[in-house]
Amino acid sequence: MADQVAALSCGIWQGQPVADLDYAEDSTAEIDANFILAADGGIVEVQATGEERPFSRQELDKLLDLAEAGCAQLFEMQMAAVKAGL
């Protein structure tokens, strides 16, 4: 394995930043964003849409922070699966 990548959906739902939105949240989110991140801290892709309104740089930063935390958990799970031979 050359490097790890993980993807996570985040958004602003009912005024709050939320990670890993389910369908009900995603379909009614004010802001919808998808992040693909590399384990070395790099950003592979960001796609964000102001579904209900424009969003601020601070909101985007909060969503990126959530994505980084969520992807860190995914990277740990990926490594555990590799070590377990799954």
d(CA 42, CA 82): 21
Strand locations in 1-86, DSSP E?
5-13, 16-19, 31-38, 43-50
Tell me: the pLDDT tens digits for 39-75? 999 999 999 999 999 999 999 999 999 999 999 999 9
Residue 75's domain is classified under what CATH number?
Answer: 3.30.230.70
Q: What is the pTM of this model?
A: 0.91
CA–centroid distance for 22 within its chain: 12
Number of structural domains (the chain) is 1
Q: Which domain holds residue 39?
A: 5-83
Q: How confident is the model at residue 3 (pLDDT cuts 50, 70, 90)?
A: confident
